[in-house]
Amino acid sequence: MGIDSPEQEFLRAPSTQQYEPVLRNPSVYNPLDTFRLPPGQDRQYQQQYGDMYFLRLAKLKPAVEAVAVEAWEGFSIAGEHARRVERVLDVRQGELCWVAGTIYMEMPLKPNILRDLTEDNFTLAPPPRKTYQDPSHPELTEIMLEDESGRLRLVGSKLGSIQLATGAIIAVLGTENANGDFEAIDIKVPDLARQPLRWERDNPQASKSSKKGKIAFVSGLGITGTSSDNLTLELLADYLLGYSESSTSRNEDGSVPDANTITRLIIAGNSLGASIIGEAPSVEGTTGKKIAQQKKYGYDASAYNASPITQLDSFLAELLPSLPITIMPGETDPANFALPQQPIHRAMFPRSRAYCAPPPSGEEKAEPGWFDSVTNPWEGDVEGWRFWGSSGQNVDDVLRYLNFADEDGNIDPNCDAEERLRIMEAMLRWRCGVPTAPDTIWSYPFQTNDPFVMLACPHLFFTGNQPQFKTAVIEGDNPLKLGEDTEMGGTDEDTPVPTVRLLSIPKFRETGELVLVDTETLEVELVKFGAFAGKEDKQ
Amino acid sequence: MVVADYKKYLAENVLNERSTVTYRSLGRGLKVHSTLAKQMLYDFHHTENAKKPRSVNATYILTGIQKAEESTTTNSTKPNSSSGNGDDIMPSSPYIPSSMANQEAAGDQVPISSVLLVREEDLEGAKSTFESISSIYVYSLQSTILQDLNVLTDVAREMLVNHAKEDPLEYGKQWGMIQNKNVKRRTGARPPPPPPAPSSTIPAKRPAQSDSQQSKTEVKEERSDSKPAQCQNTPSTKPAEKAAAPPKKEKGSLFSSFAKAKPKLKKESSSTPAVSGAESAEPSGAEDVVLGDASDDGEEQEELFPESKKPASTETRESRKEREDRLRKMMEDDDDEDEEMPDATEPEEPSAPIDQPPPKQAELKVEATVAGGRRRGRRQVMKKAVKKDSEGYLVTVEEPSWESFSEDEPAPPPPKRKPVVSAPKAKAGAKAGQGNIMSFFGKK
């Protein structure tokens, strides 16, 4: 077409050129229902949470013990061989041994229901804290190893060098000292679970139909319904729909990645802003009385502001004709609060719901919808890769267990972002996506299985609503010694070393950043949206 | 011809009405491709300012790679260049996450491109922050400098309202939207009535309209064929839904959808293959009409009361009329609005045993007495008990036992409600402590 400079394409008189429609590649999508709770009356809240720890330990103990056997068998200090001990209570004083169990951390600032009850302070949810550690009294933090028999306090310099959080399953090598504490010499974790092969769950045709493309991630849209927060959102929509790119300067160096290569958008939580949810309707004076008298249930325009959700709905409805979307609820979204958060109900999306899958009918499993409202955390296969992601609560909470703040409680943002990736790595190696549930994250009391245990290691592990974008690749152990995986469905002999892409997705509202992941290489790119702060703003 | 009109259109909107026109609102207004709309904006801006300087003000979009804000990190100039040197694979470490030290450098090599909205005055300044610019175009035109760029979102919102009737699946190609052949959309979804306040909300994108559209739609739409038929078959319900009906009327339509959802459910549960078949196969015939039409509201409602769904779908003896009557009564109850949610929860909970009493639940009784403004009562619950049997084994049995409860809630006015509900319901429903939440949890 003879247009060389990109500037000339748009900055010229209208042409009579015909524009060919740009086509988007199909998306191969196969979500898992790992975190769906039973509907209706089958959802019980009377169970004890203890079952979850029991299940988790039962599931992960063989794995961690296999790692430990590998490492410690024949290990001896001064002629004394390390002995394997089944239960923590069987540990004998002065004897070199190793034992597996669940970590429990006692921390001074951790919410404690018993303390709240004794202080008559049980009506309100505990305020969120930056950390459960008391920076001025680090010695108050106790780390314990527990199993169904009892608890063992862990001490030793080894503990200082690694991160632990309540709920992680580990094996510890050491001796019990005169105080009855267990002096830890070494610690082993279950390490990465078996990683499925690409396209493992999809039919063979799917892998052929898939072409090179990108998957877009965004989180923390933070729509509050006021006009001030929507400009970048508008630019985002324009970009995703392909309006903001030039039709001729494709695939040139230095250009924005083409929007038509994006095959799916994943929204990782907090699509609505925080402020609206927290606001309780102010009941006071005469109006309050009136409300109390009427006791009107359902829609009450005075107490409920629908505009954030309508805006989200129209944002989605604008994108959906061109782009399939997976949306996860987050902390501030209209879904249940306890993990796993269930999908935002499609009644919330009067316009977008036409793209949903038809409501489940009977036993048959419905095909995933074009617009898929999923759980948080969520697991599924996209373009053959296994994704495991959450809206960020899990990482935020584990962070509170770690000693990252200096004495005054200040946090270095760079250090913080790195710490968050380390937590994500640790979760994968613990094989537990939400270790601190149900201790400090609200959780559904699972009784027959703990879905937070990762049975399969994902290829891409993402966390939404993080303060900063950050990515890394981690690598598993040598797969040859993955003997512990036999209970997970057999090992593949020529399995490559599992590598996992970690992705911490920033809040869009604060950063304007959209994360693009290549479907072939899982390479990451970033597109930033914003308005230039010019003279007018500075005035 | 359209192309010639744009000057008139822009002159009217930008110069006379002093409103803001973005390339998208222009594109939609004139039904032209977004690229063409951008060119029109540029041309108009150029010619008008040549005639009379500063008569039209523009905002631009710059896309490209911005220079790194701090010189500490050197971003790769080309986004593709990182594919080779991307992230270093972290050396395998049994579990010492601190080995991520080298990740920081790797993380910064992620190519970042920017899409930036810039005012005309700042254009040069903004350009200088870019390392390379891949495209630049006029985003909007207005007669004065925009004090607040957020005004542009109002333009976009207004545009959506004005063009709500245009189905993006049909017009998207014209606008230059990226097309997707695989879009799956259910038809028969009733768009919500346009919200009353257009300033803050956006109305239905797709009112049930345009019989003509389905022939043009390139994208495969499920059951699109049933659309016209649907309109003919259900003329009675259509008007009620279309207009933003007064509340009374809406209730009426709610009934009808409830009533209609019934046969649909039957069909669905008895022949699920038919449903999935209808998705893939060429849809035709009355069945699809029923499915398509009754589906949405009915389904959504149905889904909101998952408890009531099962009995309703399995139990088919109850006639539709009966059901409708009961619903009407419920609604009337609601209208009284002196009493509360329990009414609404009633149908879920206590009505289940009526439809088809599950043997276990039917045994559980709730008795409530009202005394001194407080309601107390006892109810029967199933309790698990572990017993040693004759042979010395421990067995767990479920047995009914009584448990007392009290509520601080004021007593419901019972005489009022009793005559309203039908006989079996009165027993299970009205007496059931108005479906208070304790009895809900008590059941096992």
Chain A residues with beta carbon closer than 8 angstroms to that of B33: 19
Asked if pLDDT for residue A96 goes beyond 80, the answer is yes
Asked if pLDDT for residue A20 goes beyond 90, the answer is no
pLDDT at A304: 66
Q: Which two tokens stand for residue A220?
A: 């923390």
What is the overall mean pLDDT for chain A?
78
Report the chain A residue with the minimal C-alpha distance to residue B7.
Answer: A14
Of A370, A381, A383, residue with least CA distance to A211: A383
Chain A residues with beta carbon closer than 8 angstroms to that of B87: 471-473, 523-524
Asked if pLDDT for residue B193 goes beyond 50, the answer is no
pLDDT at B15: 81
Asked if residues A275 and A509 have their Cβ atoms less than 8 Å apart, the reply is no
Asked if pLDDT for residue A463 goes beyond 90, the answer is yes
Burial of A124 (0-12, 13-18, 19+ CB in 10 A): exposed
pLDDT at B106: 45
pLDDT in tens, A384-403: 889 999 998 888 888 888 76
pLDDT at B250: 42
Count CB-CB contacts under 10 A for residue A357: 18
Distance of residue A200 Cα from the nearest chain B Cα, in angstroms: 23
Q: What is the mean pLDDT of residues A458-467?
A: 91
Asked if pLDDT for residue B271 goes beyond 60, the answer is no
Identity of the residue in B145, B160, B303 whose CB atom sits nearest the CB atom of A359: B303
The CA angle A478-A482-A488, to the nearest 5 degrees, is: 140
Peptide bond into A438 cis (omega under 30): yes
Q: Which of residues 338-377 of B touch A (CB under 8 A)?
A: 339-341, 344
What's the complex ipTM?
Answer: 0.77
Q: What is the mean pLDDT of residues A433-440?
A: 86
Q: What is the mean pLDDT of residues A372-381?
A: 90
* Interface contact A297-B344, CB threshold 8 A: yes
pLDDT at B364: 53
pLDDT at A506: 92
Q: How confident is the model at residue A216 (pLDDT cuts 50, 70, 90)?
A: very high
Distance of residue A294 Cα from the nearest chain B Cα, in angstroms: 7
For residue A66, give every residue at least 6 positions away whose Cβ sits within 8 Å of its Cβ, in sequence order, or none.
A483, A484
Asked if pLDDT for residue B285 goes beyond 50, the answer is no
Q: What is the mean pLDDT of residues B183-196?
A: 57
* Interface contact A231-B150, CB threshold 8 A: yes
For residue A117, give the DSSP letter: H
Share of chain B above pLDDT 70, in %: 39
Rounded CA-CA distance B163/B159 in Å is: 6
Backbone angles phi, psi at B422, to 5 degrees: -75, 165
Rounded CA-CA distance B38/B140 in Å is: 9
Q: What is the mean pLDDT of residues A140-160?
A: 85
- Of B222 and A220, the structure prediction assigns the larger pLDDT to A220
In this structure, the dihedral spanned by the alpha carbons of residues B27, B28, B30 and B36, taken in order and rounded to 10 degrees, is: 20
pLDDT at A378: 92
Residue written as token pair 């009584």: B402
- Of B212 and A521, the structure prediction assigns the larger pLDDT to A521
pLDDT in tens, B295-334: 444 444 444 444 444 444 444 445 666 777 777 766 665 5
Rounded CA-CA distance B209/B223 in Å is: 15
| C-alpha B295, offset from chain centre | 15
Q: What is the DSSP string of A224-264?
A: -SSGGG-HHHHHHHHHHHTTTS-SSSTT-TTSPPPGGGEEE
Identify which of A6-10, A313-317, B181-185, B430-434 has the greatest average pLDDT: A313-317
Peptide bond into A377 cis (omega under 30): yes
- Of B283 and A470, the structure prediction assigns the larger pLDDT to A470
Burial of B359 (0-12, 13-18, 19+ CB in 10 A): exposed
| A251 backbone φψ class: left, alpha, beta (φ>0; ψ -120 to 50) | left
Chain A residues with beta carbon closer than 8 angstroms to that of B160: 314, 318
Instruction: Give the number of A-B residue pairs with CB atoms closer than 8 Å.
Output: 357
> Considering the domain B2-81+104-175 in this protein, what is its CATH number?
3.90.1030.20
Q: What is the mean pLDDT of residues A108-127?
A: 69
pLDDT at B308: 42
- Of A176 and A295, the structure prediction assigns the larger pLDDT to A176
Identify which of A345-359, B196-210, B346-360 has the greatest average pLDDT: A345-359
- Of A268 and B214, the structure prediction assigns the larger pLDDT to A268
pLDDT in tens, B12-66: 888 888 888 888 888 888 888 888 888 888 888 888 888 887 788 888 888 888 8
- Of A117 and B236, the structure prediction assigns the larger pLDDT to A117
Query: Mind listing the domains of chain A with CATH numbers?
Result: 50-188 (2.40.50.430), 212-276+309-481+495-538 (3.60.21.50)
Q: How confident is the model at residue A254 (pLDDT cuts 50, 70, 90)?
A: low
Rounded CA-CA distance A90/A99 in Å is: 9
pLDDT at A126: 60
Distance of residue B96 Cα from the nearest chain A Cα, in angstroms: 7
Compute the 3-state secondary structure of chain A and give helix, strand, coil in percent, each to the nearest 5: 25, 20, 50
Q: What is the mean pLDDT of residues A78-84?
A: 81
- Does the beta carbon of B88 lie under 8 angstroms from any beta carbon of chain A? yes
Q: What is the mean pLDDT of residues A275-289?
A: 43
Rounded CA-CA distance B212/B191 in Å is: 18
pLDDT in tens, B382-430: 777 777 777 777 777 777 777 666 554 444 444 444 444 444 444 444 4
Q: How confident is the model at residue A404 (pLDDT cuts 50, 70, 90)?
A: low
Identity of the residue in A24, A189, A418 whose CB atom sits nearest the CB atom of B180: A24
In this structure, the dihedral spanned by the alpha carbons of residues A409, A413, A414 and A418, taken in order and rounded to 10 degrees, is: 70
Share of chain A above pLDDT 70, in %: 76
Query: Which residue ranges make up each domain of chain B?
Result: 2-81+104-175, 222-304, 354-442
Chain B residues with beta carbon closer than 8 angstroms to that of A363: 272
Count each helix (H run) and each strand (E run) in chain B, helices first: 22, 7
* Interface contact B136-A6, CB threshold 8 A: yes
pLDDT at B293: 40
Q: What is the mean pLDDT of residues A187-192?
A: 87
Count each helix (H run) and each strand (E run) in chain A, helices first: 13, 20
Q: What is the mean pLDDT of residues B354-376?
A: 51
pLDDT at B294: 39
Q: What is the mean pLDDT of residues B192-197?
A: 44
Chain B residues with beta carbon closer than 8 angstroms to that of A342: none
Chain A residues with beta carbon closer than 8 angstroms to that of B192: 350-351
